[in-house]
Amino acid sequence: KNEVEQSPQNLTAQEGEFITINCSYSVGISALHWLQQHPGGGIVSLFMLSSGKKKHGRLIATINIQEKHSSLHITASHPRDSAVYICAVRPWGGSQGNLIFGKGTKLSVKP
Amino acid sequence: NAGVTQTPKFQVLKTGQSMTLQCAQDMNHEYMSWYRQDPGMGLRLIHYSVGAGITDQGEVPNGYNVSRSTTEDFPLRLLSAAPSQTSVYFCASSNGQTYNSPLHFGNGTRLTVT
């Protein structure tokens, strides 16, 4: 069983829709990352969180440590949001580099 | 501010050849890591370093060597390339002293071993 599970694997949305991507994990963690990988391949860090909620522009990330679950929301989605979104967790006692990654959710936003 | 710079972007090797993937960062980050990304799998940690002179193995270290002689550079060496090492490789860094510090990734190296 994968330690980090993302759902859905693929998601197609119409421009303007509200999008939710989910991440569940099975280990105790000290932090969770959300990353964005564009079709060109580059990976950008969106959020790092250990509790509660963070917001940046149209992106919102939440985490529930007790339930071992995090969500990434995109409001008013746009075609430029099309990318693969990756969840990664840092297990307790692990270094910053020692992360466990999900397989990613591929999002396509149609105009 | 260049961030994390990886070279080359693309490389084709024959089985048995050796090569070094370069990674440099100019943010004075202590932590640097190498990952490989394969279709249908999440990023997997190859090796990581918590500072100059200190390296450790990740999940898939076989066939790879690293060294960290300076804070800035963290090269990944393929000793004798195999087709199973065909992958996209990413270098990443972060400021390990800061609890809420994000990861910074290089643009990746697409390696094909024939």
Q: Which residue of B has its CA nearest to A3?
A: B42
* Rg of chain B taking only CA atoms, in angstroms: 13
Task: Give the residue numbers in B contacting A (CB under 8 Å), as ranges.
Answer: 31-33, 35, 40-45, 48-50, 58, 88, 90, 92, 94-96, 99-105, 107-108, 110
Place of tokens 């060496």: B77
- Please spell the DSSP secondary structure of B71-103, one letter per residue: SSB--EEESS--GGG-EEEEEEEE-TTSTT---
Cβ–Cβ < 8 Å for A107, A83: yes
pLDDT over 60 at A97, yes or no: no
Angle at B35 between CA B18 and CA A78, to 5 degrees: 130
Q: Which residue of B has its CA nearest to A102?
A: B42
Handedness of CA A18, B107, A6, A69 (dihedral sign): negative
DSSP state of A42: -
Distance from CA of A57 to the nearest CA of B (A): 17
Q: What is the pLDDT along chain B (114 residues), one digit of tens a residue?
A: 679 999 999 999 999 999 999 999 999 999 899 999 998 888 999 999 989 999 999 889 999 999 999 999 999 999 999 999 999 999 999 887 555 578 899 999 999 999
What pLDDT score was predicted for residue B82?
Answer: 97
Chain B hits for A2, Cβ within 8 Å: 42
Strands (E), chain B: 4-7, 10-13, 19-25, 31-37, 44-51, 54-57, 64-66, 76-78, 87-94, 104-105, 109-113
Distance CA A20, CA B17 (A): 45
Of B40, B42, B110, the CB nearest to A101: B42
Distance CA B30, CA B98 (A): 10
Are B45 and A88 within 8 A, CB to CB?
Answer: no
pLDDT digits (tens, 9 = 90+) for A49-65: 999 999 999 999 999 99
